[in-house]
Structure 1
Amino acid sequence: MFSINAQENSPKKSHKAESFLKGTFILTVASLVVKVIGSLNWIFVSRVLGGEGIGLYQMAFPIYFLALTVSSAGVPVAISIITAERVALKDILGARRIFRISMCFMFCTGLFFSLLTYFGAQWLIDWQFVRDPRAYYSIVALAPAVFFVTILASSRGYLQGWQRMTPTAVSQIVEQIFRVITMILFAQLLLPYGLEFAAAGASLGALAGAVTGVIVLVYFHWKLDRDIAKTYGNELKPVVDSSTSSVWKIIRRIFVLALPVSAASIMLPIVSNLDLIIVPSRLEVAGYSVHEATELFGYLTGMAVPLVNLSTILTASLAVSIVPAISEARTLKDTKRCFNQTAAAMRISNFICFPAFVTVLMLAVPISSLIYNAPGAGPAVWVSSFSIVLLGLHQVTTGVLQGLGHPTIPMINMVIAAVAKVILNWTLTAQPSLGIMGAAWATVADIGIAAIINLYFLYKYINYKMEIGQLLKTIGAAAIMAAVIHFGYEFLMLEIGSNALATFGSLFVGMFVYIVVLILIGGIMEADIERIPMIGAPSIRLFKKLGILKH
């Protein structure tokens, strides 16, 4: 399943493949931990600040997010690509030089946007871009964090270029922990002075998290330098290369690679704002009241979309890990490795996303009831489930194209897909028979169009095509899983009568059946399972005890 040829299916492990999978696994675990901590954080902060205080914080946060996106989005990808190229050529001195130059560049960029946010806060209030003057203190409190997060992004990109994902994962977790502690502590301490100061105290969490994240990465940079000294000793020699001979050429390359990624990042809030403008108004055209339209919009954006994003945490991590791996292979002109790593990433994406899609599809209403206590969100969740597989493909193909040195292509594809989404939102959402499901289908089409165009360019550059045989095996196993979940849920509801137990019970059995069927039909081999970090070997032992795999 994860491998592309007989050689890779052999018991002999590929160091590069293992490193690639290990990085993905580490980032996935970190993302889950960060999300759990973040969810718990909002429970406590909401109790301290209340709805009005949260509103003040949320008025300031988009300003901070925009400044951060412009100053640093795309930087980790750009620096990761350039560093991986230098490392592939054994140009260690060149990699270090790129890091120093990028840090100086991002130091200036981060400082500029941090000061712009700080001194522009009053202007935003005066010109009514921020409606409540009390949000001024939160904007000012968030301003210094822009500088440190920009430095953090540059540092993470360099370490990712060495295909070291543990520093990113650890710094994310530490950053989130200190962010949460600071938010709760300062919100509580400053609450007696007024709600606006309490919200500003919560905003200081971003600064505390970023500073501690930087401190953590300082240790990992020291560790990397120590490992380099052990490996290369005093044999480090500069490699002459015109692309890295000039400081301005390096800065220009960072800018060229980062700009499309930044533009794509900005596209996300733009599309969200277009949804905010179009969807509720078109729901009213379909015959819903303002209250009903608002509620349905909340079902889609606040419940269905987060479930889709949660289902693709692993593929999001996969997309980060694949960039330096592909960049290294491209630099060495190793077309076969580019192809193999792309194919492996695609199979992993399908292996993970198809069961996630089936789970959300078959249990849309039960999951909506269990998590959100909102069974009315079921239709939007059901339609949105179709975007899970497509989003996984889009994330991975975007990472591969970035690693191949073509970051502009995914950005342009996102613009094309966004135009299609606007048109479909306008037409489908106004249909009384569809309503919010029309908006959900528009989102599915948006992601699908971007993913399909990405796939075309992968075929153009590395001659990659989806492996139909493996894809059909995965779909077949997922279809059997769907049947097991459907009948299992119905049976457990009749026998137990508990939605929670029926949901988790049918899901557990369905996942087990999915993996067993894949093994039996040859969709996944023992060597593939063994290469999965941490859980591979224990899974093999379990399957052998159960007689699914031969001893």
Structure 2
Amino acid sequence: ALSFPAVVATILWPIMQLADSLLIPMRMQMAGFSPAIIREGLGHLGMALTLAQFPNVVTVALATSLVPAISEAWALQSKKLVRHRSQEALRIALIFGIPSCAALFVLGEPLSQLLFGYGQVVAPLRILCFGAISLGLIQASTGILQGLGDMLIPVRNLAFGVVVKFALNYFLLAHPDFGMLGAAWGTTVGWAVIAVLNFLSVVHRVGKAISLRHSLLYPGVATVFSSLWMYLCQDTLIYFVPNSAASSFALLSGLILYFLLLMITGSLTERDVHLLPVIGKPLANSLYTWGFLRR
């Protein structure tokens, strides 16, 4: 049971990708797309999916650690502690998901060119990037629900999302105006359905599940400023340095700006930084020592 969130996170993608592999060739051929275009589009879609899913490595670790933490609070019959830990989990998911979405949207083309050598990946990526928010919420909310002993609710919600995914794929892939982008929309909406259903299930169990100020307002404002910075950096530096250097600097400096703004507002704490893989603990200790982070 303790590993269930990680298992769900592992099987979610193959199930969604199965829907793609079954429907994409059939429906796009019916719309008149050639096999060559379909193969090329499938490649671009797979690359975009890889980029869209990558930022959620943090929330996968969070989901796994959440189950014992929530179970402990539930065993103590402390509703207040359950609510607090649930709010913290969803806040962290949004803190990492919102800027990931923005960075992939703003820098999608140069990052696609840098990592894969295909700038065309940006078309499905700018749709799938919104899934970065949904994926974080799915993983965090799944951990919460499993910690509360609701083993079947996330599976039920997953099933609804897969049905939506299949339905949208079926209709959009055969539409000439969508084509392969229909699969990107189907995946993104499918993820969103799962995230919303999971979130509503958490609210039903624990009550108020997020702090609007620290989970949405501050991260949203910080994302706007960092996105503008990334866009201006990329747009300016490209005239002076190679595209790869411009996009790398824009991404890194934009993320630093984002997290600095969250530290200033108190929306990012030492415990949050601890969740980062490999560098989390030493980085959190250093930032706390220097006075950037609160406990």
**Structure 2 length-normalised TM:** 0.89
Offset of residue 297 of structure 1: 1.2
In structure 2, do the counterparts of structure 1 residues 500 and 268 end up closer, same or farther at CA, with 3 Å as the change threshold?
A: closer
Note if contact 1:481-1:514 (Cα within 8 Å) is conserved in structure 2.
yes
SS in 2 for 1:460: helix
1:386 maps to 2:134: no
Match of 2:244 among 477, 491, 500: 500
1:357 maps to 2:105: no
Which structure's relative contact order is higher, taking Cα pairs within 8 Å and 6+ residues apart?
2
1:58-137 correspondence runs (5 A): 78=1, 80=2
Unaligned runs of 5+ in 2: none
In structure 2, do the counterparts of structure 1 residues 524 and 261 end up closer, same or farther at CA, with 3 Å as the change threshold?
A: closer
Note if contact 1:279-1:429 (Cα within 8 Å) is conserved in structure 2.
yes
Residue 336 of structure 1: aligned partner:
80
In structure 2, do the counterparts of structure 1 residues 522 and 266 end up closer, same or farther at CA, with 3 Å as the change threshold?
A: closer
1:104-503 correspondence runs (5 A): 268-301=13-46, 303-470=47-214, 471-496=216-241, 498-503=242-247
Offset of residue 375 of structure 1: 1.1
Amino acid at match of 2:208: Y
1:509 maps to 2:248: no
Note if contact 1:530-1:540 (Cα within 8 Å) is conserved in structure 2.
no
Whole-angstrom distance in 2 between the partners of 1:291 and 1:461: 49
Any idea what the Cα deviations from partners look like across 1:432-491, whole Å, max 9, x if unmatched?
222222211111111110111111111111113332222111011011111111110011
Note if contact 1:261-1:411 (Cα within 8 Å) is conserved in structure 2.
no
In structure 2, do the counterparts of structure 1 residues 262 and 530 end up closer, same or farther at CA, with 3 Å as the change threshold?
A: closer
Whole-angstrom distance in 2 between the partners of 1:392 and 1:291: 34
Whole-angstrom distance in 2 between the partners of 1:538 and 1:319: 25
SS in 1 for 2:282: coil
1:533 maps to 2:277: no
Offset of residue 262 of structure 1: 7.0
Whole-angstrom distance in 1 between the partners of 2:7 and 2:267: 38
Note if contact 1:278-1:426 (Cα within 8 Å) is conserved in structure 2.
yes
Percent identity of the aligned residues?
A: 29
In structure 2, do the counterparts of structure 1 residues 465 and 373 end up closer, same or farther at CA, with 3 Å as the change threshold?
A: same
Which is further off, 286-295 or 481-490?
286-295
Note if contact 1:304-1:380 (Cα within 8 Å) is conserved in structure 2.
yes
Whole-angstrom distance in 2 between the partners of 1:374 and 1:440: 17
Whole-angstrom distance in 2 between the partners of 1:541 and 1:472: 27
**Structure 1 length-normalised TM:** 0.49
SS in 2 for 1:464: coil
SS in 1 for 2:21: helix
Whole-angstrom distance in 1 between the partners of 2:130 and 2:162: 17
Aligned-pair RMSD on alpha carbons?
2.6
Note if contact 1:529-1:539 (Cα within 8 Å) is conserved in structure 2.
no
SS in 2 for 1:513: helix
Whole-angstrom distance in 1 between the partners of 2:220 and 2:196: 18
Any idea what the Cα deviations from partners look like across 1:193-240, whole Å, max 9, x if unmatched?
xxxxxxxxxxxxxxxxxxxxxxxxxxxxxxxxxxxxxxxxxxxxxxxx
Offset of residue 346 of structure 1: 1.1
Whole-angstrom distance in 2 between the partners of 1:330 and 1:483: 43
- Of the two, which has the highest radius of gyration? 1
Amino acid at match of 2:228: A
Amino acid at match of 2:57: I
Note if contact 2:15-2:162 (Cα within 8 Å) is conserved in structure 1.
no
SS in 2 for 1:312: helix
Any idea what the Cα deviations from partners look like across 1:1-52, whole Å, max 9, x if unmatched?
xxxxxxxxxxxxxxxxxxxxxxxxxxxxxxxxxxxxxxxxxxxxxxxxxxxx
Note if contact 2:271-2:284 (Cα within 8 Å) is conserved in structure 1.
no
Whole-angstrom distance in 2 between the partners of 1:316 and 1:389: 13
Whole-angstrom distance in 1 between the partners of 2:273 and 2:67: 23
Unaligned runs of 5+ in 1: 1-77, 81-156, 158-257
Note if contact 2:142-2:154 (Cα within 8 Å) is conserved in structure 1.
yes
Note if contact 2:56-2:136 (Cα within 8 Å) is conserved in structure 1.
yes
Whole-angstrom distance in 1 between the partners of 2:270 and 2:64: 26
Offset of residue 314 of structure 1: 0.7
Any idea what the Cα deviations from partners look like across 1:173-207, whole Å, max 9, x if unmatched?
xxxxxxxxxxxxxxxxxxxxxxxxxxxxxxxxxxx
Offset of residue 316 of structure 1: 0.6
Offset of residue 522 of structure 1: 4.4
Whole-angstrom distance in 1 between the partners of 2:265 and 2:6: 40
